[in-house]
Amino acid sequence: MNVDPIIQVDHLKVIYNKGKQNEVRSLFDISTRIYPQEYVIIFGPSGCGKSTLLYSMSGLQAPTDGTVLVEGKNLSKMTKAEMVELHQVGIGMVFQAFYLIPSLTVLDNVCLPKVFRGESKVNRQENGIKLLHRFSIVEQASKFPSELSGGQRQRVSIARSLINNPQIIFADEPVGNLDSESAENVMRILKELNEIDKKTIVLVTHNPEHLHYADRIIYLKDGKFVKEEVNTDKRPIESEKVVDVKYEELSNELKILMRTFKNLTLNQVGSLLVPFKADQLMSHVLSELNQEQLQTAGGYLKEYLFGNIGLDALAKDLDMDYEKGGAGWNKQRVRSFAERVGAIMELSGRITDGDDEAETLRSLMVYLTNVFKLNLEGIQKERTNAALSERIRNKIDRLELQKKLDLSKALGGAGLHKHTAEKISREVEIIMLMKYS
Ligand code: ADP
Ligand code: MG
């Protein structure tokens, strides 16, 4: 790798109570490098020095000897102000014991790190709510930590660690206190933060079942480095099991969608649905873009679908130059893209809200007429409307919709051009997918 390490540990030695009777030699001569966007696990039996290594990397534990650099800066040489800055915005920490403040609500706990950054309350809370929403704990926002399950508490603490959008997440046995289902859920969130949000993750665990999540594993024993292993069978996020859903248990709505989106797997129905949706929407609206443009834009689109940014911010990110971290599109493309995405989301929102159906259908027809430059005569319009209505109510699937649109008027269909029927049914399917959550 020719990028600079984000964390660099050289000949690190940590001795507790040095020179005293109760001296403990916790780490001997540890050297390692961690690169941006890696997911590294520090693994070993209890007492081997994992937490000490993690705390040394985060500046919570000063080395007895050796150096630790984070983002190129030597932690031992940082001023107090720099160290505070690092802990506020550079790194996020997640602990086994959560360390939530019992007298603060969930939302206030999450927003607490922002209080010290002097941001307005409205601003802070908006961000906090988005994170709670993302981790499915927004209903708990005004509860106190004691009212939450362990898994929910850990999700709160992860949300807190993310509130200032740090590049690095340190997690010390984050699922050590959780039942296996909650543990799985939290591990998935961390994986997603690594793969989708591109956070660098350093996680401490003694549980070998977690090793497959990592890109690389550092093995420790008795304070010594044993070996470092690249995880060759890291499972890509798509093939991961999210929840054990059985096909029979799925809603009719989802089954219908799955007929169209063949790679929408049971495993995606949990937390992976948003990235899936983003990909589909992306390739649907922008099939002519190159891979690089698609990739940068895709990340922003996911942020939008997660509710982390609004449509305006999405358009701004897409428009910004590559060099400045944007997607480097031209203004016109950004405008038509944002308009299209906005319209699709608005329509899917209307269907979800169960708005007046006649009104929803009218909007849908206006939208389709615009996008595909339709010019339908009376009976065509009537039958198209009827077919769309059936699709929206999940009475028919995409193929049946397409057939009804395609079928000649004489045979009771809408008599649209074959390609038009295909395009419309595809468009409606995307709207239905966006609606599904
Ligand atoms: P792990 O996280 O792998 O269980 P730790 O890093 O917590 O291991 O501990 C490594 C060794 O250092 C253990 O022997 C532990 O008892 C000792 N140790 C950890 N923290 C302290 C401390 N603050 N004071 C004295 N000894 C400590
Ligand atoms: Mg520990």
Q: Residue 239 falls within a domain, yes or no?
A: no
In a domain, 427, yes or no: no
Closest ligand to 95 CA?
A: 2
247 assigned to some structural domain: no
Domain end point (choices 352, 387, 419): 352
217 and 346, same domain (yes or no): no
Q: What is the pLDDT of residue 45?
A: 94
Claim to verify: residue 29 and residue 145 sit in the same structural domain: yes
Token couple for 242: 């999210």
Ligand nearest to the CA of 22: 1
- What pairs with residue 9 in β-bridges? 32, 68
Looking at ligand 1, which atom is closest to the CA of residue 52? 6
Q: Residue 217's domain spans which residues? A: 7-230
43 shares its domain with 96: yes
Q: Are residues 177 and 38 in the same domain?
A: yes
Q: Tokens 């403990």 belong to which residue?
A: 24
Residue 178 maps to a domain: yes
* Ion ligand 2 residue ranges (Cβ < 5 Å): 51
CA distance 356 to 351: 9
Residue 428 main-chain phi, psi, to 5 deg: -65, -35
Ligand nearest the Cα atom of residue 56: 1
100 vs 157: CA distance, rounded Å:
7
> What is the structure's pLDDT at 208?
92
**Closest listed ligand to the CA of 53:** 1
Residues 63 and 200 in one domain: yes
pLDDT band, residue 242 (cuts 50/70/90): very low
Residue-level pLDDT at 308: 81
The answer on pLDDT for 291 being more than 90 is no
Tens digit of each residue's pLDDT (9 = 90 or more) over 253-288: 777 887 777 667 665 665 567 777 777 777 677 655
Q: How far is the CA of 223 from the centre of ligand 1 (A)?
A: 9
- pLDDT band at residue 95, thresholds of 50, 70 and 90? very high
Q: How far is the CA of 61 from the centre of ligand 2 (A)?
A: 13
Report how far residue 96's alpha carbon sits from residue 91's, in angstroms, rounded to the nearest whole number.
Answer: 17
105 alpha carbon – ligand 2 mean position (Å) = 28
CA 229–ligand 1 middle distance (angstroms): 24
List, for residues 56-93, the tens digit of each pLDDT value. 999 999 999 999 999 999 999 999 999 999 998 999 99
Pocket perturbation via mutation, ligand 1, pick of 15, 22, 26, 205 by most ligand atoms within 8 A of CB: 26
Q: Are residues 128 and 276 in the same domain?
A: no
The domain that holds 41 is classified in CATH as 3.40.50.300
Rounded to the nearest angstrom, the distance between the alpha carbon of 26 and the centre of ligand 1 is: 6
- Residue 72 domain-assigned (yes or no): yes
Residue 136 Cα to ligand 2 middle (Å) = 28
Q: Ligand 1 pocket test: which of 20, 28, 52 has the largest number of ligand atoms within 8 Å of its C-beta?
A: 52
For residues 67 and 161, membership in a common domain is answered with: yes
pLDDT tens column, 22-58: 999 999 999 999 999 999 999 999 999 999 999 999 9
Supply the pLDDT for residue 235.
54
Q: CA 385 to CA 389: how far, in whole Å? A: 6
Check pLDDT > 60 for residue 238: no
Q: Identify whether the C-beta of residue 235 lies closer than 8 Å to the C-beta of residue 211.
A: no
Over the range 176-205, which residues count as b (16 or more CB within 10 Å of their CB) and which as e?
A: ebbeeebbbbbbbbbbbbbbbbebbbbbbb
Pocket test for ligand 1, best of 12, 16, 23, 25 (most atoms within 8 A of CB): 16
Closest CA relative to residue 203, chosen from 120, 112, 103, 94? 94
User: Distance, CA 172 to ligand 2 centroid (Å)?
Assistant: 7
Residue 43 in domain:
yes
Q: What is the pLDDT of residue 380?
A: 94
Of 203, 230, 257, at which residue does a domain stop?
Answer: 230
Residues 216 and 282 in one domain: no
Alpha-carbon distance 177 to 183, whole Å?
A: 8
Report how far residue 398's alpha carbon sits from residue 384's, in angstroms, rounded to the nearest whole number.
13
Half-sphere exposure of 247 (CA within 13 A, CB side): 7
* Res 9 pLDDT > 90: yes
As for how many domains the chain has, the answer is: 2
CA of 82 to the centre of ligand 2 (A): 26
Residues near ligand 1 (Cβ within 6 A): 16-17, 24, 26, 44, 46-52
Residues 339-361 have a mean pLDDT of 86
pLDDT at 241 over 50: no
- pLDDT for position 263: 66
Question: Looking only at Cα atoms, what is the longest distance across the chain?
Answer: 97
Q: What 3-state class would DSSP assign to 230?
A: strand
* Same domain as 116, residue 201: yes
At residue 338, the pLDDT reads 83
Domain check: are 172 and 302 in the same one? Answer: no
Residues in the chain, overall count: 437
Question: Which residue, 352, 387, 420, sits at the end of a domain?
Answer: 352
What is the pLDDT of the chain when averaged over all its residues?
A: 87
pTM: predicted TM-score of the whole model, two decimal places: 0.59
Answer yes or no: is 27 within a domain. Answer: yes
Classify residue 129: in a domain, yes or no: yes
Burial group, residue 349, by CB count within 10 angstroms (0-12, 13-18, 19+):
middle
Same domain, yes or no: 225 and 307: no
Contacts of residue 295, defined as CB under 8 A and 6 or more positions apart, other chains included, come to none
Residues 213, 306, single domain; the answer is no
Does the pLDDT value for residue 240 go beyond 60?
no
User: Which residues, in sequence order, are bridge partners of residue 271?
Assistant: none
Segment among 235-244, 304-313, 375-384 with least mean pLDDT:
235-244
Q: Is the pLDDT of residue 414 over 60?
A: yes
Question: What does the alpha-carbon distance between residue 336 and residue 164 come to, in Å, rounded to a whole number?
Answer: 32
Task: Specify whether the CB–CB gap between 179 and 19 falls below 8 A.
Answer: no
Given the CA of residue 49, which atom of ligand 1 is nearest to it?
A: 6
